[in-house]
């Protein structure tokens, strides 16, 4: 449970201490990649809680979603349509759904645990 959070902190530390900067034009891509990553991450947590977690699906989903989102944004830039909004929308909706499901599962677990203890 603590390992992923530690990983997040390590990643943040690495990113802040390194001197990598993305050119202004590409921040769109990076932000959408972050969104895709977060979506996959919460999807993974949810699958884990629902006991349907598959390692391969999770890892491939992570990279595939990032690449797909970035290429969609790229295509959008070249077509003159803000296609990256599509990805933002899809990932955003899914993110909220996943978080809601995670919350419900956690609440259920907590409630049942309390009932069991009584």
Partner 1 sequence: MMSRAKINFTMITIIIGFMIAIQFKTVQQPVARDTRDTWELRDSIRTEMNLQKRLLAEIRLQDERLNKYSSEMEGSKESVLRQTLLELRKEAGLTEETGPGIKLTVRPINQALIPGDSPQTVSPITLKRLINELNMYGAKHISIDGERLVNTTVIRDINGETKVGTHSLRSYPFSINVITETYELAEKMFNRMHVSPSIDDFFLDNLEVVISNPNKKIVIPAHVEPITIRNMEPVDEEGE
Cβ proximity of 6 and 58 under 8 Å: no
Site for partner 1 in 47-66 (CB under 8 A): 48, 53, 55, 58-59, 62
**What is the size of the binding site for partner 1 (CB under 8 A)?**
35
Tabulate helix, strand, coil % of the chain (nearest 5).
85, 0, 15
- Give the C-alpha separation, 31 to 44, whole Å: 20
Work out how close the CB of 62 gets to partner 1 at its nearest, in angstroms, rounded to a whole number: 6
Work out how close the CB of 54 gets to partner 1 at its nearest, in angstroms, rounded to a whole number: 9
Site for partner 1 in 4-33 (CB under 8 A): 4-16, 18, 20-22, 24, 27, 30-31, 33
Of 37-45, 79-87, 90-98, 109-117, which part binds partner 1 (CB under 8 A)? 37-45
Question: What is the DSSP secondary structure assignment for residue 19, as one 8-state letter?
Answer: -
Q: Is the dihedral of CA 98, 56, 16, 2 positive or negative?
A: positive
Site for partner 1 in 58-117 (CB under 8 A): 58-59, 62
């Amino acid at each position: 449970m603590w390992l992923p959070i530690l990983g997040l902190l390590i990643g943040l530390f690495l990113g802040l201490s390194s001197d990598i900067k993305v050119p202004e034009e590409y921040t769109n891509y990076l932000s959408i990649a972050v969104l895709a990553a977060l979506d996959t991450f919460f999807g993974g947590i949810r699958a884990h809680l629902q006991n349907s977690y598959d390692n391969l699906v999770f890892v491939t989903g992570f990279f595939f979603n990032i690449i797909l989102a970035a290429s969609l944004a790229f295509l959008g830039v070249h077509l003159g349509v803000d296609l990256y909004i599509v990805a933002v929308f899809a990932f955003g909706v899914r993110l909220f759904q996943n978080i809601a499901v995670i919350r419900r599962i956690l609440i259920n677990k907590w409630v049942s645990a309390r009932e069991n203890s009584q």
